[in-house]
Amino acid sequence: MAGNLTRDEARERARLLKVESYEVALDLTEGDERFESVTTVRFTSTGPGASTFIDLHGATVRKVTLNGEDLDVAAYDPESGRFPLPSLAESNELLVDADCSYMRTGEGLHRFVDPVDQKVYLHSQFETADAHRMYACFDQPDLKAVFQLTVLA
């Protein structure tokens, strides 16, 4: 289970980062248990050389690049739902390619097949701290950014 962000962690990350944009591409054609989520995040750091983490829960991480450099996907901690981001630059571009799980618990992205019409329906309520169950993000309300969402269904 993903741990909640502590107040101190949130303050430090908000002090360190300004998130400019997210580009999220979801491929929902891969089956009824998982979907592909590719996220590109552009952000700046007030502390070049500093480290932080991005949130992503319930995923199998396939590839992560930070400023064009591949990061070791083994660094992902599925228990905490965090991927460490070392040695930030002043201006950063992060790409995270992962397979995420559909949820059935009121969190993340839900997939439901209606027994009457046999059609597939998807929904999410994105309760506090649950966006990172669908795409990699700095999941805290004071780190706002513009989004582009592309869905293949």
pLDDT at 130: 83
- Domain for residue 44, yes or no? yes
Question: Which residue positions in the chain have pLDDT lower than 50?
Answer: 1
Q: State which amino acid sits at residue 152.
A: L
- Domain for residue 126, yes or no? no
Separation CA 22–CA 112 (nearest Å): 27
Q: What's the helix, strand, coil split of the chain in %, to 5?
A: 10, 45, 45
pLDDT at 3: 65
**pTM of the full predicted structure?**
0.93
- Domain for residue 123, yes or no? no
Alpha helices in 1-123 (DSSP H): 7-16
- Domain for residue 125, yes or no? no
Q: Give the other-Cβ count within 10 Å of 69's Cβ.
A: 9
pLDDT at 1: 45
- Domain for residue 142, yes or no? yes
pLDDT at 62: 98
Contact 134, 100 (CB under 8 A): yes
Separation CA 98–CA 116 (nearest Å): 32
- Domain for residue 88, yes or no? yes
| Joined tokens for residue 104 | 């059935």
Domain that includes residue 13, residue range: 7-101+131-146
- Domain for residue 119, yes or no? no
CATH of the domain at 39: 2.60.40.1730
If one counts the domains in the chain, the total is 1
- Domain for residue 69, yes or no? yes
Give residue-wise pLDDT tens across range 71-105: 999 999 988 999 999 999 999 999 999 999 998 88
